[in-house]
Amino acid sequence: MALAAVAEVLGGEQVLRQPLHSRLDLIALSRQGVPKAAVVHLAHFLSCTLHELVALLPVTERTLQRYTPQQPLNRVVSEHILQLAEVAARGVEVFGDKAAFLAWLHHANTALGHQTPVSLLSSRFGAEIVLDELGRLEHGIVA
C-alpha cells in the first residue's frame, strides 16, 4: 500500500506538514504528533462524525475540542490515527471503491466473529485484525 494514500486520507502533506515516503516517516510523525486537522479529514473520509470517530480513539471528545487545528496530538493518539488511516487507505485499495469499503466496514463479518470491522477499530489489535482480513480478501481467501 502506498503511504501517499495514507497521507491523503489525513489531508495530505499540507495538513501533515511532511511527506510520507517510508514507514519510518510514520514513526517520526507519530512522535511529533498528528495535527488535529488530520482527525477532521479522517472523519470526513470515513463519512462519520467527529463524535463517532473519537469513540475509536484513546482521547475524549472534550480534550480534542481544546486543540487548535494545527496542534499536534500525543504519540498514542497519533499512532492510533495513523493506523486508522492505514486501514482506510488499504480498504479502498482492496475494494477499489470507497463506498464499497465503507459498506464492508459497517457490515457484520463472519470471519470477525460476526462483528463489524469498525467495531474492532478502537483497539490497535482490532485494527491489525481488520488489516489482516483485508489482506485475505485481496488474495481471495474468504472465511
Per-residue pLDDT tens digits for 78-98? 999 999 999 999 999 999 999
Domain that includes residue 11, residue range: 3-138
In a domain, 131, yes or no: yes
CA gap 46, 88 in Å, rounded: 7
Nearest-angstrom CA–CA distance, 69 and 67: 6
- Is position 28 within any domain? yes
Instruction: Please indicate, yes or no, if residue 105 is contained in any of the structural domains.
Output: yes
Total domains present in the chain? 1
CB 115 within 8 A of CB 121: no
What pLDDT, in 10s, does the model give residues 51-68? 999 999 999 999 999 999
Residue 124, domain member (yes or no): yes
Structural domain contains residue 93 = yes
Whether 44 maps to a domain, the answer reads yes
Position 143 in a domain: no
Please check whether residue 99 lies inside any domain of the structure: yes
